[in-house]
Amino acid sequence: MSKNLLTAPNGGKTILEVGPVRIGGEEIVLIAGPCAVESEEQLTQSGLHLKKAGVSILRASAYKPRTSPYSFQGHGLEGLKMHKEAQKKHGLLTSSEVMDPRLVQEAAEHVDILWIGARNMQNFDLLKEVGKCGKPIILKRGASATVEEWIMSAEYIMAHGNPNVILCERGIRTFETSTRYTLDLSAVAMARLKTHLPIIVDPSHAAGRTDILDVLCKAAIAIGADGLIVEAHPNPKESVCDAAQALSLEQFEEIAKGLKPLAESVGRKICL
Amino acid sequence: MSKNLLTAPNGGKTILEVGPVRIGGEEIVLIAGPCAVESEEQLTQSGLHLKKAGVSILRASAYKPRTSPYSFQGHGLEGLKMHKEAQKKHGLLTSSEVMDPRLVQEAAEHVDILWIGARNMQNFDLLKEVGKCGKPIILKRGASATVEEWIMSAEYIMAHGNPNVILCERGIRTFETSTRYTLDLSAVAMARLKTHLPIIVDPSHAAGRTDILDVLCKAAIAIGADGLIVEAHPNPKESVCDAAQALSLEQFEEIAKGLKPLAESVGRKICL
Amino acid sequence: MSKNLLTAPNGGKTILEVGPVRIGGEEIVLIAGPCAVESEEQLTQSGLHLKKAGVSILRASAYKPRTSPYSFQGHGLEGLKMHKEAQKKHGLLTSSEVMDPRLVQEAAEHVDILWIGARNMQNFDLLKEVGKCGKPIILKRGASATVEEWIMSAEYIMAHGNPNVILCERGIRTFETSTRYTLDLSAVAMARLKTHLPIIVDPSHAAGRTDILDVLCKAAIAIGADGLIVEAHPNPKESVCDAAQALSLEQFEEIAKGLKPLAESVGRKICL
Amino acid sequence: MSKNLLTAPNGGKTILEVGPVRIGGEEIVLIAGPCAVESEEQLTQSGLHLKKAGVSILRASAYKPRTSPYSFQGHGLEGLKMHKEAQKKHGLLTSSEVMDPRLVQEAAEHVDILWIGARNMQNFDLLKEVGKCGKPIILKRGASATVEEWIMSAEYIMAHGNPNVILCERGIRTFETSTRYTLDLSAVAMARLKTHLPIIVDPSHAAGRTDILDVLCKAAIAIGADGLIVEAHPNPKESVCDAAQALSLEQFEEIAKGLKPLAESVGRKICL
């Protein structure tokens, strides 16, 4: 394997500035929102509520990778337009997953940050395409990817022209079944040693349940994560996908408040 | 998860006819060739030799998914053209991996069978695209995909218009390190119970070594596989990728001969 | 790690003679029987029936490692005595798991072969004790043990005075849930490369189901196993443990017959 | 599986008192020391230094489970006596692994707390024996044990008369190789939901390296652990086993100091 050149630490840690948000700095960045874009109203309501809870980036995907072809596949371009409209009201930065290299440009024109899901971490043509799109990219670790492979996928994006990569740990596949995946926080520490990139943690997909989410968020900050990406929905039971792992907006707010003292104890800030 | 409709066994097993080759019938289909297309000469030499060894489909990919962006990425369209030219001389069916939904049509015009690699088993936009391309598709199981997820990915291709799917087990990621992946032959048996589709086995990527390949091929036929896809190269040491797992053409021939009695013992045939 | 001296192949393969049974020779050794000793009658009935089906060693454990302390823990010494009595009628060699170093001697006096279960593969005090007992030992691979660790555990037994070790692959723990464990047949091939010891396969515990057992048995012989250890019970639904994976005696007989041609195709014999 | 009765939460959390130490209360319990007992002097030096660093229980095992029979196996009874002698000088509580049911009594007479290693989590005869010994037991989770199985092993100890069980997460075996095992902190949260028992974390064996140990300790406290068990050695390079994961006593002291603010941020205390 060729040496990674662009992701290597080189004695520092990168702070990524996206509009008013600094990712990788002192402040812990909170990203939250529904799994999928369902309606403009859903986005507006989520954005307005989550803003008060310290969130600076709204998550909600217009495209959904689903195990079954018969499950809801996302609203696509319509969903992206809903993001654009809702943003006029809530004012947060917006983000969506992108899955198809042909749709990267379309997505990049409508939201502020794109993410690559775990299933596509080694979809190399997609990585090359987001390397050319000019928007910050959250790169989720594949469920069976080593830390080394994860970093090499970041290297793909950067080698194709986009230095704005944020690594995201979201759980690996193991034999344990009490959680949906196994959140590998050591990997966050290892990626910190090996790269200069900001790193965030997605405890929602890892756990697949909400009753341990507060302590997973705390542990993620303790391990050194620069941010969290969490599923929160105005009405979790009605979520079109992954309902079991979605917090209500109120639950998220409660958890976010509880993170402040811990963040400060490790020299970080949560602004809310 | 929605019920799978198209992949369910429905009391039978499908035989897929591709030119003169029947996949899923009495005969064990041998697919072999280099990891990647390197030159027209390499393909011709491989094809002519492997034909004598019972191979009916030549494998060699024009596109290569590589962990590092600095590794050889495949010859692309030029590689596909080499397949077309070489085929005039060796006369075998040809096959290549396809990774980018934008390049499916191009690939479908140049080779007879396309395969989806393990890293793309849940690249759903790619699955949809090959669903429309009219060529038989070998669908490799993802390294951390359950049997259920693998079958649902086949369902994607079929639900988008292409009933000609061949499942391929190629090893899953486990803690064991003496082999590159762990070949999960039980999964072949389980997929047989749950679907009507032809199933083949790739022992080369699973093992990542050649010294146990003969017995892995035998075990694959014993478990009920309809075919094998094996890496064989005119000069393994010079292979541009995965050199450690490539057999020489002579080694492949030797192994193929050795499979005949076992295949017959389970009511199958190997024609060479 | 110190070099293994006693298990290394040294240019040969060991044939272990236990009474009239040769393990590791041309003949595939069939070991079968209930999970646990339940009664003398159960053993007699199983032994007499299985003998006709080609079985030369009856399995049935007097001690049972159970996840819950409230589950049946085995009949212990009484169970061993039942083995002794039943043997007078069926005449097969007998075998039982042994779990407690204090009970190794007692077990060794009552049955012909002892086995170490997967949970105890690195119970080193037990390994040392069976190293002194003078009976052949079947050493099951731990569910998360590497091939290297498995062989080093055999080395423990041999270094403490007992050269009569039989390795047994019985499935490793992975993310896949359609089977109870994942049968790792490559590990059989790797252990063959690295040691001179006889190797058998336990498809029953690996699969945790009976509907794929016939092809798993075939694949095990194809990969080069010297024998099979299979759960078969006079009345599977009434089995005190692991009922889902137990064949009826008739089903076992049917499967065993079906193995003959395949065994012969790879130069082995099944005598029935 | 039978219902667990003794380990179920029943609306509370147990605080275990061992001499002056309360495990499971407000204070985070620090357990540290060498992997193995090497000499009385090593124990004395470690104990005196670590006491100043907030440690209340010295770890160092008289028995060592080693993959190879040719590796150092521990000083056994001599090691236990060294613990007894050294304790007169350092005054900390002492602890050792116990592996052999025949040696549980001997160990219980010499040290204050016994631990069951990961390899023996389902060594049920050992669990039963420590159930009768009257000393508190640290039960490490097996490297491939589910949370459910881990709790059922605690149930074994308790059902045999010993209510004083402390659960210990120490990493599970996965495909990731940058760390020795994968520390599964979600399992700590899940065990907290399902039991009333104190839970500690061993980041040393999980990581197999020292450069990420400080943040792993923090994350463990953040997730809700009641204590840490860490390898620290007067001269790590000279450690007879697991040298790569041992901190120096000074490094441990430094890390322990750094935990205070974080512990307080989650309502816990570290006394040093």
Contact call for D189 and A224, based on CB within 8 A: no
What is the set of domains in chain B, with CATH numbers? 32-265 (3.20.20.70)
Query: Residue B86 is encoded by which pair of tokens?
Result: 């070489």
C-alpha dist (Å) from residue C45 to B28, C48, C50, C52, C126? 41, 5, 8, 11, 31
- The Cα B17–Cα B164 span in angstroms is 9
pLDDT score at C260 = 97
> Is the predicted pLDDT of residue B272 greater than 70, yes or no?
yes
Is B230 in a helix, a strand, or coil? strand
pLDDT tens for A135-160 read: 999 999 999 999 999 999 999 999 99
End-to-end CA distance of chain C: give it in Å, rounded: 44
Is the pLDDT at D53 greater than 60? The verdict is yes
Determine whether the interchain pair D125/C71 forms a contact, defined as Cβ–Cβ distance below 8 Å: no
Is D178 part of the contact surface with chain B (CB cutoff 8 Å)?
no
Mean residue pLDDT of chain A comes to: 96
* Residue-wise pLDDT tens digits, C52-97: 999 999 999 999 999 999 999 999 999 999 999 999 999 999 999 9
- Of D63, D64, D122, which to mutate for an interface test with C (greatest number of C Cβ within 10 Å)? D122
Band the pLDDT of B258: cuts 50, 70, 90.
very high
Q: Which has more confidence, A81 or A272? A: A81
A186/D148 touch (CB, cutoff 8 Å), yes or no: no
What pLDDT sits at residue C236?
95
Give contacts of A178 with chain D, Cβ < 8 Å. 146-148, 186-187, 190
* pLDDT averages per 10-residue partition of chain C, 272 residues: 78 94 98 97 98 98 95 96 98 98 98 98 98 97 98 97 98 97 98 98 98 98 98 94 93 98 98 86
The amino acid that residue D162 corresponds to is N
Mean of pLDDT values over B22-51: 98
Cα distance between residue B172 and residue B145, in whole Å: 8
Residue D4 reports pLDDT greater than 80 = no
Which residues pair with residue B172 across a beta bridge? Answer: B182
| Look-up of token digits 């041998």 | B30
pLDDT digits (tens, 9 = 90+) for A37-76: 999 999 999 999 999 999 999 999 999 999 999 999 999 9
Rounded CA gap, C211 and C236, in Å?
14
Q: How far apart are CA D208 and CA B47, in angstroms?
A: 48
**Is the CB of B65 less than 8 angstroms away from the CB of A101?**
no
Widest CA span of chain A, in angstroms?
48
Question: What span, in angstroms and rounded, lies between the C-alpha atoms of A97 and C113?
Answer: 58
What lies within 8 Å, CB to CB, of C247 at 6+ separation is C204, C210, C213, C230, C231, C232, C233, C236, C255
By the CB < 8 Å criterion, does B173 face chain D? Answer: yes
d(CA B127, CA B79): 22
Instruction: Tell me the residues of chain B between 192 and 231 that have a Cβ less than 8 Å away from chain D.
Output: none
Region A168-172: mean pLDDT is: 98
Tell me the two tokens of residue C85.
Answer: 């009595």
Positive or negative, the CA dihedral B241, B246, B250, B252 is negative
Three-state SS for C93? strand
Contact C50, C92 (CB under 8 A): yes
Q: For chain D, say whether C125 makes contact (Cβ under 8 Å).
A: yes
Residues of C whose CB is below 8 A from D67: 1, 122, 148-149, 152
Three-state DSSP at D204 gives: helix
Q: Tally C-beta pairs within 8 A across C and D.
A: 88
Nearest to A95 by CA among A166, A8, A161: A166
- Closest partner residue to A144 among B101, B144, B148, by Cβ? B144
Which chains touch C (3+ CB pairs under 8 A)? Answer: A, B, D
User: Is D148's Cβ below 8 Å from some Cβ in A?
Assistant: yes
- Per-chain mean pLDDT for chain B: 96
**Structure confidence at residue A242 (pLDDT):** 85
What percent of chain D has pLDDT above 70?
99
If pLDDT is split at 50, 70 and 90, which confidence band does B116 have?
very high
Distance CA C35, CA C112 (A): 17
C173 in A contact zone (CB under 8 Å): yes
Q: What phi and psi values does residue A134 have, to the nearest 5 degrees?
A: 80, 0
Question: What are the structure tokens assigned to D214, written together?
Answer: 């400080």
Q: What is the maximum alpha-carbon separation in chain C?
A: 48
pLDDT score recorded for residue B3: 67
Asked whether residue D1 carries a pLDDT value surpassing 50, the answer given is no
Do residues A188 and A224 lie in contact, with contact meaning Cβ atoms separated by under 8 Å?
A: yes
Whether the CB of C175 is below 8 Å from some CB of chain A: the reply is yes
Query: Which of A186, A218, A264 has its CB closest to that of D179?
Result: A186
**Cβ contact, residue pair C176, B182, below 8 Å:** no
Closest by alpha carbon to A13, among A265, A218, A229, A226?
A226
H runs (alpha helix) in A92-234: 104-110, 124-130, 147-159, 185-194, 203-207, 213-223
